[in-house]
Structure formats: structure tokens, C-alpha cells
Chain A
Amino acid sequence: MATSAAPPGDDDGAELTPRRRGRSARLKRGLRWLGSTLLTSCITLVGLLVVTFALGRVLPSDPVLRVVGDRASQEQYDEVFRQLRLDRPLTEQFAAYASEMVRGDFGQSLVTRNPISADIARYFPATFELATVAILLGVLFGIPIGVMCAQYANRLPDHLGRMVSLIGYSVPVFWLGIVGLLVFYAKLEWVAGPGRLDTVYRYSVPEVTHLMLIDTALAGEWDAFRNAVSHLVLPASLLGLIALGYIARMTRSFLLWQLRQDYTTVLRVKGLSDAAIIWRHALYNAAGPVLAIVALTYAYLLEGAVLTETVFAWPGLGMYITDSLFASDVPAVLTATLLVGVIFMVVNIASEVIQAALDPRSRLA
């Protein structure tokens, strides 16, 4: 790499001392990686915009009539026709659409007549709270189960863990929600039913963050807080079970890969116990991919939330999507779709950054 023949200013930086050269080369490589990641994300974003734009165009119904209704006069019709830029060429329409979306101007919901951005800001915190508690549960139980499976690979605990994981990602979450409500709410009365908070508390708690657990705690309303927990615990555990399945399974296979490496053999020869090798060495080395999987699972939970929210009357993004769908509010559905797509994209990048930060080897690829 560092031949003295390299011209100054080349990648190799032959003039520099070895130590400084290493740092600047690393910085350069990091910047190049960041640049290519950003470029890729921009391309993905344009792709997302093309798809949602196209979906908005292929509709069988007339977009103007969706706004003005059937009884509008010809003048009204023409005005909206121009407002929607339907008289402009398609490329121009797309450019205007893309710039509006990027600026956060999502237009108006046909049903609520609010700006879609305001609607989403109101619905999103509920989904965020649900998915976050679920992923915390998934990590809290999933990683120890994965470790246990790796430690007792192909023995009874591993088989049990495998069954739990497989059931976790085979179960239809909306059905599990109904069964859960039937058993834990109707029969056993352990948890509160659908919704985020009982009506009694709904107007006594000032909404600051729109996250019920935090709002009730900030207000010092501990009865309301307990009520919020009681509403949250069932939907969050069901989503958490799905997260647990993925996280446990992937943790297991990353750990098994680490346990086949030479360094674990060395540790074993030195007399370390299996548990010490896994918890103190292998898990640390597998942390990058495990956290990447956690990030991806988190994005996936946003999708699972669509179905869970419907069952639990949870006023989140998923409920907004399905309600808009049935009201034929296409702009709202497509904007929410775009938003979830962007979240997916951001989480993907985050998982790559986490992996690169924790594991220098993954930066080489």
C-alpha cells in the first residue's frame, strides 16, 4: 500500500508519518462510506416517491371528483383540476409532488380536512410508544434466550427456544390479540381492554409528549399511569413476542458463528467456562449484528402495529392508515406509506452505522 513512489496527495498519503497516515486514511474511508450511504438513501427516497406517486395515479377513480364530490359545477371542477396540476405534464407533476413531500407539505386529508402532517403528528406517538415498549421486551427476553440456545446448542433448551422463536414468527398477530383480549381481559380480567387510557382519566392528564406513560408520570397521576400500563401491557407483549422470535434466533446464530472462531478455542484452552466465553467475549463480538437485527426488527414492528392497533383500538399510525383506507382517503394512505418507508430506510442506515461503529471488520465490505 505505502510505496514511496506514490505521488503526494494520493490516497496512500506517502508523505505522512505512519500513525497520521492511518488516521487520515480511516477518515477518508469513513467519509467515502458516508457519502455512498447518503447517495444510496437519496436514490431509495426517489424510488419511494416514484412508487407512491405512481400509485396515486393509477387509481380507477377520478382524483378531482374525490375532492369536490359528484355535484360540483364545471368551474369548481376545472379549478381543482388545475390545483391538482392535472393539466401539467407528468414529469412536472412528479417534481412538484416530490418537492412538496420533501418539504413536509403532505397536503390535506380528504376526510379530517386537517393537514396530513398534523394528523400524523397526532397519531404517530401512540405507535412509537407501543413499538418501543415491545422492542424493549423483545430485547430483554430475546437476547438471553438466544444466548441460552447457543450455550446449549442442539440440546433441550435450544429446542425449546427454537419452538418459541418459530411460534413467534408464525403467529398471526391480530388473531393473537383477539385471543389475548378474550383470555386476559374478558375471562381473567388481568388487563384493561382496548384503547390507551380509560375514559375517566382521558381529560385529567395534560398531553405533553403524547406518550401516555410519560404524560401520566409527569402529571403525577399514578392511578392514570397504572391504567396506561394496564392498557399497554397486552399489545406490547404480543408485538414483543414477535420481536423476541427474531432477536433470539439471530442472536443464537451469530453466537454460534463466534463460537466456531479460533479465539474461542484459545479461551477454552485457557480454561474459561462456556458461560464466560459467551457472555464476556462472544456476545461482545456479536453485538454489532445483534443490534443491527434489533434495529430492523423495530422497523418491522411498525408494520405489525398496523394489525395490532386495529384489534386494540390503539389510535396510532396503523389505525390512521386503515381508517383512511376505508374512507378512500388516498393521499393520507400514500403519505403514511411513504413515511413508514422512510422510517424503514433510516433504520436500515442506522443499523449499518451501528454495525460499522461496533465492528471494524464490517467497514471493509
Chain B
Amino acid sequence: MSSLSHSLQWLSSDTPATRTQAKLGAIYRLLRRFLTHPIGVLGLIMVALIVLAALFATWLPLADPVAQSLDQRLLPPSALHWLGTDTLGRDILSRVIHGARPTLAIVALVLLISVPIGLLVGAAAGLWGGWVDAVLMRVADVFLAFPRLILAIAVAAALSAGLWTAVIAIAATGWPPYARVARAEIAALRRSEFIQAAKAIGVSPLRLLVRHALPLSLPSAFVRAALDAPGIVLIVAGLGFLGVGLPPPQPEWGAMVAEGRALVFEAWWVSTLPGVMILWLSLGFNFVGDAMRDVVDPGVK
């Protein structure tokens, strides 16, 4: 107990002794500010519940998400099947929980691809300016001009539908906004003294880019990523709904909404309940992002 309070004191120290302590302290202070934000905490809980359920889906006492039992078709929600069953008699609760996995995987992969690419491109454009800036930003404009969902549909039409197709298509249109923001932030600091000083002591261009320029736009990139995540959730669900997402019988939320659509007037639960999960997750991400924006940059509240 005392070691905990001691380490908290170490984190919130005004006079950090090392660079690591200063960095960790800054993160700790941001975290504390975030935890006082009720909407942010609510969002974090909403997202965390889904992530935990997805991670431990195989160990939870759930029915097999792909096991069909045709004598138990379209049962309404009951004690046995909490969310009812679908047209093939599969347990909807189990399918909804397993269905969180592909969605979360695609969100994570898209962000892991688009955030670093966007930051690198934006930092390079902002730091070096000139023709590098012009070329990189024109490329960004081209990808920004594409409507995300429709490009994803076109890519799915051209390649075959699947997890990686979705990731590539969504990431291709995902990086330009990060690049634009990073460019603006870094271009404003291009002529500042610490960049000049780093250049003067002979820091290589690549190191200047990665170690000195890029970290400046990390906070805003994190906020943007949290606000980007719900959009990705909705695109993944939209692709699944249109039937160009994951191939069946894998459970996926958008596809589940589509499956129940034809019989929504007789068996409302098949289509509506997976949709609630989509709303839940994307609302959770939006809450987190909205709160993070307040915490990281209180000025633009």
C-alpha cells in the first residue's frame, strides 16, 4: 500500500529526476484528468466490456456461435437463449460476442497501418516543405477525395471479400487526415529553435523526422484515432451488411443485421440486437475520443 502511494507521488512529482519520470508523470496527469470526465469514463467502460468479452469469448459459457440446430429456429429471447436464436437456430448472444472479434481486429489493424503512415507523411511534408510537401499532400488529397465506404466496396468488388481486403480498403482512405493535421502542427514549428539546434549539431534527416518532429503530433493523433475508430466500426458493419464483409458463417455484426432484415416484422430480435452492439461500440469510442479531446487540448473544448 505504501509502495503504491509512494509510486504515485513519484509520478506526480514536480521535479522529475529523469526523462522517463517526466514522461510517465505527464501521462499520469493526463490519465487523472481523463478519469474525472464522466462521459470519457462511461465510454471507456463501454469499450472495455466489448474488448474483454471478445478476448475471453472462447472461455465464456456460451453456445457454439456456428452450431446450427434447425429445431430451435427463431426463438425469442428467453432464459436459455438470452438474445434468442436466428434462422438457423444459432444462439444470438454467442454470435454477437464472437462477432466483436473481427470488428475489433479490423479497427486495430486499420489504426496500426493508417496512423503511422499518416504521421510519417505529414511530418515529412511539414518538416521539409517545398516539393516534398507538395507531392505528399497531393497524394493525400487524392485518397481523401474517395468516399471511404464506396472505395471499400469497389476494392471488395475487385479483390475478394475478407478481413485483409477490408483493412486495406479502409486504411487506404484513413491516413490522409492524420497526415494533414501532423503537417500543420509540424510546419508551424519547422523554424523553431530546437529543430534548428538539432540540425546544427548534425542530427540526420531521418532522426530529425522520427525523434524530433513526429512526437510533436502524437497527442492529437491519439485523439484523432479514438474519434476515427467509430467510423471504422461503422464501415466494417456497413460492408458486412452489404454482404462484402467476412465470408459466412463467421459471425459479424453487420452481416447479422442483414440476415435478420427480411424477417424483422416477425422476429425483430435477429436484426435489431446485433445493431445495438454496433451502436454500443461506436458510441463508446466516440465518448472516449470526445473526452480525450477535452483532456489533451482543453482550449478547443
Q: Which of A153, A299, A337 is in CB contact (< 8 Å) with B154?
A: A337
Cα–Cα distance between A131 and B283 once the two chains are bound (Å): 24
Chain B residues touching A, majority SS: helix
Asked if A172 and B146 make an inter-chain contact with CB atoms under 8 angstroms apart, the answer reads no
Asked if A166 and B146 make an inter-chain contact with CB atoms under 8 angstroms apart, the answer reads no
Which residues of B sit under 8 angstroms from A44, Cβ to Cβ?
A: 138, 141-142, 145
The B-contacting residues of A in range 131-187, CB under 8 angstroms, are 153-154, 162, 166-167, 169-172, 174-176, 178-179, 181-182, 186
Asked if A181 and B264 make an inter-chain contact with CB atoms under 8 angstroms apart, the answer reads yes
Which residues of A sit under 8 angstroms from B241, Cβ to Cβ?
A: 172, 174-175, 307, 310
Name which residue of chain B comes closest to A257, CB basis.
Answer: B300
Per-position contact with A for B118-155: 1 when CB-CB < 8 Å, else 0?
Answer: 00000000000000000000110111011111110111
The A-contacting residues of B in range 223-254, CB under 8 angstroms, are 230, 234, 237-238, 241-244, 254
Per-position contact with A for B247-287: 1 when CB-CB < 8 Å, else 0?
Answer: 00000001001000100110010011001001100110111
B262: shortest Cβ distance to chain A, in Å? Answer: 10
Asked if B157 and A330 make an inter-chain contact with CB atoms under 8 angstroms apart, the answer reads yes
A228 at the binding interface (Cβ < 8 Å): no
A102 at the binding interface (Cβ < 8 Å): no
A1 at the binding interface (Cβ < 8 Å): no
Cα–Cα distance between A317 and B47 once the two chains are bound (Å): 35
B148: shortest Cβ distance to chain A, in Å? Answer: 7
Asked if B282 and A52 make an inter-chain contact with CB atoms under 8 angstroms apart, the answer reads no
B82: shortest Cβ distance to chain A, in Å? Answer: 20
A303 at the binding interface (Cβ < 8 Å): yes
Asked if B282 and A172 make an inter-chain contact with CB atoms under 8 angstroms apart, the answer reads yes
The B-contacting residues of A in range 312-335, CB under 8 angstroms, are 321-322, 325-326, 328, 330, 333-334
Chain A residues touching B, majority SS: helix
Range class of the A interface residue count? 35 or more
Cα–Cα distance between A44 and B138 once the two chains are bound (Å): 7
B89: shortest Cβ distance to chain A, in Å? Answer: 22
Range class of the B interface residue count? 35 or more
Asked if A171 and B279 make an inter-chain contact with CB atoms under 8 angstroms apart, the answer reads yes
Asked if B147 and A55 make an inter-chain contact with CB atoms under 8 angstroms apart, the answer reads no
Which residues of A sit under 8 angstroms from B146, Cβ to Cβ?
A: 48, 51, 337, 341, 344
A60 at the binding interface (Cβ < 8 Å): yes
Which residues of B sit under 8 angstroms from A330, Cβ to Cβ?
A: 157-158
Asked if A340 and B283 make an inter-chain contact with CB atoms under 8 angstroms apart, the answer reads no
Q: Which of B151, B158, B242, B265 is in CB contact (< 8 Å) with A182?
A: B265
A58 at the binding interface (Cβ < 8 Å): yes
Q: Which of A166, A253, A306 is in CB contact (< 8 Å) with B300?
A: A253
Which residues of A sit under 8 angstroms from B150, Cβ to Cβ?
A: 303, 306, 321, 336-337, 340-341
Q: Which of A153, A172, A299 is in CB contact (< 8 Å) with B147?
A: A299
Cα–Cα distance between A182 and B265 once the two chains are bound (Å): 6
Asked if B157 and A333 make an inter-chain contact with CB atoms under 8 angstroms apart, the answer reads yes
B123: shortest Cβ distance to chain A, in Å? Answer: 20
Which residues of A sit under 8 angstroms from B39, Cβ to Cβ?
A: 162
Closest 7 CB pairs of A and B: A47-B142, A175-B275, A170-B283, A170-B282, A303-B147, A55-B158, A337-B154
